[in-house]
Amino acid sequence: MLKIKDKIKFLRDALKRHPLVFLMISAALVRLAAVIYSKGYLAHDDHFCVIEDASELIRTGSLRFLGESPHRSFFYPGLHYVIFKLFNAFDIYSPGIMMFFVRLLHVSFSLLTVFFGYKLTRQIAGKDAAFSAGLLLSFYFIMPFLAVRQLIEHVTSVFLVTGIYYGHLFTVKKKNGYIFISGLLLAIASVIRFQSAIFFLVVLIYIFFREKKKAAVLFFVSGILIMLMQGFLDLALFGNFLVTPINYIKFNLENATSYVTGPWYNYVLLIAAAFVPPFSFYMIWGVIKSFKLSRIIFYPTVAFFIMHSLFPGKQERFIFPIIPLIIIMGISGLWCWKNSPGNNFLKGKTFKWSWRIFWVINMLVLIPATLNYSQKARIAPLLYLNKKEEVSTIIIDKTEVSPMIPYFYLTKAPKIFSVKKEENFTGAIDYITSNHKKNDRHFVVMFTNDKLEKHLNMLKEQMPEATFKKEKLISPSLIDYILHKMNPRFNRAKVSWIYRVEID
C-alpha cells in the first residue's frame, strides 16, 4: 500500500499532468452540493420570469399572462417548458423532482465556463495563470450558487465565455469556422439577455477593422441567423416579428430610473468589494493590464461594464454576465505582469498575503452560499401542503408581508385566497363556512417573524367558530438568518407559519 507521502506525491503529479481534469471534477463536486441543498431562487426574475412562465403555459396553453407588450424573449423560458413537458410525458409532476433535475442541467451547463475559461486563460497567459483562473471560476463564492439558478444574467455568462473563446481562437488560427461559432454563441447570449448584444456589436467592429472583412461578414451572418430564429419565435408566439427586443428597448428607456438606481461608479465599488481588498485592487489592475493580451476579450467586456455603469438602473445581478471574464482578464493580466522581467512587486509579501486572505474569506462565504436554500419561506409551505391529502382551501395571509407566491410548487388545485388586507378575509371565511365538508382540510400560511399572535388573534376574531392548530414552522435559511441578525431593520427574517383550520 502507498504511504501518505507517496499518495500526496501521486496527487501532486496527477495535478501537474491533468490540471483541467482536477478543476472540472472539483467544480462539479461543489456544484453538486448546490444542486442538492441550494433550492429556491435568487430574485423575482429567475423564478417568475422563467419557471412560472413555463409552467403557466403548460397549465393554460396560452401566453396571455405575459400581457399585450411582452418584452422578454421566450427562448430561455421555452426551454424549461420543453423540459417540464418531457417530465410530464413520463408522468413526473413533482415540482421538487423537476427542479432538482433543472438545477442539475444548469450545473452541467455552467461547467463550460470552467472548461473554456481555463483554455482561454491558458491561451493568453499560460498554464499557471489558467490554473489560478480555473480555481476562481470553480470556487469563487457565488459561482456554485449561481450555477443552480435560472438567472438569465448567469446563463448568458456561459455563452459569453465560450463565444469569446472561439473569437480569440479565430484571431490566433484565422479559421473562419471559429468566428462563425463565436457569432452564434454571442448572438444566443444577446437573445437570452438583450444587453449582451453589445458583445456581439463590439466583436463585429473589432473583426471588421482588425481582422478579415470576410470573417466579419461571416460573423454578422451567424448573428442574423439567431435573430431570425428569435423573430420567427416572436411571430409564432405573439404575432409580431422581433416584438420582444423592440419592446425591451422601449421598456428600459421608459423605466431607466423606475427601479434601483446608483452612481456611475457603483459597479467599480462592487468589484472592489466582491474580490476582497486589497486583492481586488490587484484584480482591477490585472484587468487593465490584460488589454495587451487579447483585445477581443478586453473591448467588449469593458464596453459592457461602461454601458451598465452609465445606465441609471443598477442591480448587482446586471454585472453577473461578465464576472467570469473579469476573473479571466484579471488573473491573466496579473500573472503576465508578475512574470515579466524585472518586476518584483507581485513577488513580495503584500500580494501573497492578499491572495491568501482572499481565499480564506472566500471559502468561509462559499460554504453557506453553496448550501443556501434561497426564498425558503415562500417555497417550503407550498411543498409541504402539496404532500398533504385533501387540501381544500389555503388562505395566504399577506397582511404584514406581501411576497409573490411561487405557485409552481403547488401542483394541487385547492381554493386559494391571497389576503392583503384584514377586511378582505371575509370572502375566504364565507367560502370555508359555506362549503366545508367533513373531510375537508383548510390551512393558513402566514408570513411573520415576531407578530404571530397578532395574526392568530385577527383570524380568531374573523372565524370564532374555528380552531387554529400549528402545523409547521418554516425557519429562514442560514444566510437569511445571518442577514437579519446583521441588520434586522432592513433585512426581514423570512419566516412562515402553517396553521390548520379546524371547524366543528
Whether the CB-CB separation of 160 and 195 falls below 8 Å is answered with no
Model pLDDT, residue 3: 67
Taking alpha carbons only, the member of 69, 49, 360, 374 closest to residue 193 is 49
What is the pLDDT confidence band of residue 482, given thresholds at 50, 70 and 90?
A: confident
Share of the chain above pLDDT 90, in %: 69
Model pLDDT, residue 478: 80
Model pLDDT, residue 421: 85
Whether the CB-CB separation of 400 and 448 falls below 8 Å is answered with yes
Whether 490 shows a pLDDT value over 70: the answer reads: no
| DSSP annotation of 419 | E
Model pLDDT, residue 40: 93
Q: Which of 72-76, 140-144, 226-230, 479-483 has the lowest mean pLDDT?
A: 479-483
Task: Burial-class residue 26 by CB neighbours within 10 Å (0-12, 13-18, 19+).
Answer: middle
Q: Average of pLDDT values for 60-72?
A: 82
For the sheet containing 441-447, what is the strand order?
415-419, 391-397, 441-447, 496-503, 466-474
Whether 8 shows a pLDDT value over 80: the answer reads: no
Q: Average of pLDDT values for 410-439?
A: 84
- Greater pLDDT, 99 or 438: 99
Model pLDDT, residue 5: 67
- Greater pLDDT, 342 or 64: 64
Whether 85 shows a pLDDT value over 90: the answer reads: yes
Whether 346 shows a pLDDT value over 80: the answer reads: no
What's the CA dihedral at 10, 13, 17, 23 to 10 degrees? 80
Q: Average of pLDDT values for 385-393?
A: 88
C-alpha cell at 400: 404584514
Whether the CB-CB separation of 170 and 179 falls below 8 Å is answered with yes
Dist CA 104 CA 31 (whole Å): 9
Whether 6 shows a pLDDT value over 70: the answer reads: no
Q: Which residue has the cell 391571497?
A: 418
Residue type (1 letter), 415: K
In 10 A of CB 62, how many CB atoms?
A: 9
Is 27 strand, coil or helix? helix
Q: Which residue has the cell 451567424?
A: 222
Q: Average of pLDDT values for 451-461?
A: 89
Model pLDDT, residue 476: 86
Model pLDDT, residue 177: 95
Model pLDDT, residue 401: 84
Whether the CB-CB separation of 478 and 371 falls below 8 Å is answered with yes
Q: Where are the beta strands (DSSP E) in 415-484?
A: 415-419, 441-447, 466-474
Taking alpha carbons only, the member of 75, 112, 386 closest to residue 234 is 75
Which residues, listed in sequence order, are joined to residue 469 by a DSSP beta bridge?
500
- Greater pLDDT, 450 or 7: 450
Q: Which of 179-188, 249-258, 291-300 has the lowest mean pLDDT?
A: 249-258
Whether the CB-CB separation of 413 and 467 falls below 8 Å is answered with no
Q: Average of pLDDT values for 439-457?
A: 89
Residue type (1 letter), 110: S
> What is the maximum span of the chain, computed from C-alpha positions, in angstroms?
86
Share of the chain above pLDDT 70, in %: 96
Q: Which of 224-228, 257-261, 304-308, 345-349 has the lowest mean pLDDT?
A: 345-349
Is 339 strand, coil or helix? coil
Whether 224 shows a pLDDT value over 80: the answer reads: yes
Dist CA 473 CA 334 (whole Å): 50
Model pLDDT, residue 341: 75
Whether 2 shows a pLDDT value over 70: the answer reads: no
Whether the CB-CB separation of 124 and 80 falls below 8 Å is answered with no
Q: Which of 54-63, 241-250, 474-483 has the lowest mean pLDDT?
A: 474-483
Q: Average of pLDDT values for 188-195?
A: 96
Model pLDDT, residue 63: 83
- Greater pLDDT, 426 or 208: 208
Mean pLDDT of the chain: 91
- pLDDT digit string, tens, across residues 153-187: 999 999 999 999 999 999 999 999 999 999 999 99
- Greater pLDDT, 487 or 467: 467
Taking alpha carbons only, the member of 119, 114, 105, 233 closest to residue 178 is 119
What is the pLDDT confidence band of residue 300, given thresholds at 50, 70 and 90?
A: very high
Q: What is the DSSP string of 321-350?
A: GGHHHHHHHHHHHHHHHHTSTT--GGGSHH
Query: Residue 67: phi, psi to the nearest 5?
Result: 90, -175
How far is CA 96 from its chain centroid?
A: 18
Q: Which of 188-192, 217-221, 489-493 has the lowest mean pLDDT?
A: 489-493
Whether the CB-CB separation of 332 and 290 falls below 8 Å is answered with yes
HSE (side-chain half, CA atoms, 13 Å) at 122: 11
